Amino acid sequence: MVGKVLGEKAELRSRIKELSGVINVVVAEVNSLSLAEQKAIVETNWPETQKKHETEEKKLSPLPNADKYTKIVTRFSPNPDCVLHLGSARAILLSHEYARMYNGKFILRFEDTDPKIKRPALKFYDSIRQDLKWLGCTVDEEYIQSDRLPIYYEYTEKLVGDGNAYVCECPSEEFRKKTIAMQACPCRDLPAGEHLERWHRMLTGGYTEGQAVVRVKTDLQNPNPAVRDWPALRVIDTQKYPHPRVGSKYIVWPLYNLAAGLDDHLMGMTHIIRGKEHYTNMVRQKYMYDYLGWTYPEAIHYGRLKITGADLSKSKIVAGIKAGTYAGFDDPRLGTFAALRKRGIQPESIKKMIIDVGTKSNDVTLSWENLFSYNRKILDAASARYFFVSQPLELKVLMVPKVFNAKLPLHPEKPEQGFREYIITPESEDKSVSFWVSKKDVETMEPEKIFRLMELFNVKIENKTGCLVTAKFASESYEDVRKIKVQLIQWLPKGTEFPAQVVMPDALVTEGFAEADCKKLKPDAIIQFERFGFVRVNEVGEKLVAYYAHK
């Protein structure tokens, strides 16, 4: 309380002792009143304080030093060695979103400079482009690093010529021993001319894999051994490991820090948004920037994003597919964008979630619930409703007094979306009608219990035997059962069913019957099977195949 008063009236600061005495008296007085009395006083004297809170959409915090640049430039730079997944969502969406927020430029740069260990594959260049498009991230410029080797060579020539980089012939273990001891390796202090010669020898095939590596000089005393004289280019036997795009054209390939470091400046990057695993790479690259007289862009390093239950590691995804554990890159158990898309997750939901998470550098473990709730809000507003009866069992209703005409809206709040209609005609002498209902509902049925077939009529259960339940028509009006809160269940007239399979998030399949109207649906349609969940239609043929999104 003292703080509050001082915050408003700073001039009282010198009279704190006096002030706190007064405040104590007032507080005691207020506390002696009941809550209702306190409220009444506030309302009569200061009605304007009773303002309503409104929730505004969460926005991204401003980019550091944004005003220093005339045009903000960001990039997303994947290695095309796998499909994209939720783990990349932060880099993609934040980079793109910031570019748009500042009316800047968003660049896609393929970092495919490792033909051997993290080998790119042609198909992924395109799948990445498609994923970005799906996410709503439009690319202003695209670069592929494997097209840019001459540029990297040019700058390497300069760095080596200036004595800021050197060609090291030491075996890596030898080199490591030296750096840990903060000592120069035998190559480091050789004259620049000698290194230029070695560099040319590298380019012309004078070294085989592992025999030589270009290193950028840093401070051997740098407290972090990982920073000391980092490797910049190495020799790859591209006869043995041809690059998928440029084959065996080059044998000297840049490493991450050289290629990305040069490109970030050359492409005019103002802000780099990437995972915190790259933090030391910034430290390393700054040495090179100093040699070249460049200033390093603003860098934001966010933490890893995990989602409970899903594996977001590229290697595990690839291994799982190879082993047949997963059906493919779009297996519903995976956190790939392909899988999310197949399940009917809207890109807008992912975007909201990522913006909500922001750019903090600690790791986050998201739960699917969060994503689903965003997605549900989008889907709920638009999706058509249908009945789906999972694991169908027969319900025979006797003594149906007349022909019923059921008209079911496709969307409860939007009648303009249309209806589906059923004409229910009692058959034979017992005036019976047979329906399909789901096993789950049948399990709760017992004699005498009343259920309502949604939008149709109420029935009283008579008998339950094996796979047949018999019931008796009870009444028609909903009002009759509304107050006693009977369970509304979904139903399908026997004979109208359309076989359906729903692939669940665990990849298991739920079999059942959908409404015949579902035959008209097109792949990609997202519908709600009432009381079952939202699903995305994958194919419509002899039967309906859909993927389960969420409740």
Partner RNA sequence: GCUCCGGUAGUAUAGUCCGGUCAAGUAUACUGGCCUUUCGAGUCGGCGACCCGGGUCCGAAUCCCGGCCGGAGCACCA
State the CB neighbour count (10 A cutoff) for residue 137: 20
453 φ/ψ angles, rounded to the nearest 5 degrees? -80, 115
CB of 327 to RNA, least distance (A): 26
To RNA, the closest distance from the beta carbon of 324 in angstroms equals 26
Report the distance separating Cα 259 and Cα 339, nearest Å: 32
By CB under 7 A, name the one of 362, 421, 423, 429 that touches RNA. Answer: 362
Query: For residue 504, what are the CA distances in angstroms to 49, 302, 392, 528?
Result: 50, 32, 17, 14
Of residues 522 through 541, those in contact with RNA by CB under 7 A are 528, 530-531
Q: Does 65 bind RNA (CB under 7 A)?
A: no
Q: Which stretch binds RNA (CB under 7 A): 196-204, 240-248, 362-370, 462-470?
A: 362-370
Side chain identity, residue 64: P
Binding pattern to RNA, positions 186-215, x when CB under 7 A? Answer: -----------------------xxxxx--
Buried b (16+ CB within 10 A) or exposed e, 357-386: bebeeeeeebebebbbebbbebbeeebbbb
Among 24, 138, 325, 367, binds RNA (CB under 7 A): 367
**Three-state SS at 356:** helix
Q: Does 7 bind RNA (CB under 7 A)?
A: yes
C-beta closer to RNA: residue 331 or 534? 534
Q: Which of 18, 65, 194, 279 binds RNA (CB under 7 A)?
A: 279
Tell me whether residue 264 or residue 441 sits nearer to RNA (CB atom). Answer: 441
Instruction: Specify the DSSP element, H or E, that contains 500.
Output: strand 498-503
Choosing from 15, 126, 138, 171, the residue that interacts with RNA (CB under 7 A) is 171
Candidates 364, 450, 516, 525; binder of RNA (CB under 7 A) is 364
Taking the complex as a whole, the smallest distance from the CB of residue 402 to RNA amounts, in Å, to 15
Question: Which are the contacts of 127, defined by CB distance < 8 A and separation ≥ 6?
Answer: 83, 84, 329, 338
**Whole-angstrom Cα distance, residue 127 to residue 497?**
37
Where does this chain touch RNA (CB under 7 A) — which range of 68-76, 168-176, 186-194, 535-543? 168-176
Binding mask 25-44 for RNA (x = CB under 7 A): --------------------
Residues 6+ apart with CB under 8 A from 228: 179, 182, 218, 219, 220, 222
Contact with RNA (CB under 7 A): which of 74, 88, 218, 281? 281
Nearer to RNA, 236 or 521 (CB): 236
Q: How far apart are CA 326 and CA 319, in angstroms?
A: 9
Among the listed residues 178, 234, 343, 396, the single contact to RNA using CB under 7 A:
234
Residues 459, 475: Cα–Cα separation, whole Å = 7
Judged by beta carbon, residue 177 or residue 519, the one nearer RNA is: 177
Distance, in Å, from the CA atom of 235 to the CA atom of 334, rounded to the nearest integer, reads 36
Backbone φ, ψ for residue 470 (5° rounding): -110, 145
Residue 409 Cα distances to 208, 262, 424, 497, angstroms: 72, 60, 17, 18
Q: Return the residue of 21, 186, 191, 225 that touches RNA, per CB under 7 A.
A: 225
> CB-wise, 381 or 509, nearer to RNA?
381
380 sits near RNA (criterion: CB under 7 A): yes
Applying CB under 7 A, among 45, 49, 61, 221 the residue interacting with RNA is: 61
Q: How far is the CB of 498 from RNA (least distance, A)?
A: 19
- Contacts to RNA from residues 433-492, by CB under 7 A: 440-441, 452, 454-455, 477-478, 487-489
Residue 385 makes contact with RNA by CB under 7 A: yes
CA dist., res. 464 & res. 149, Å (int):
75
Of 286-345, binders to RNA (CB under 7 A) are 303-304
Instruction: Determine which residue in the list 24, 65, 138, 172 makes contact with RNA, applying CB under 7 A.
Output: 172
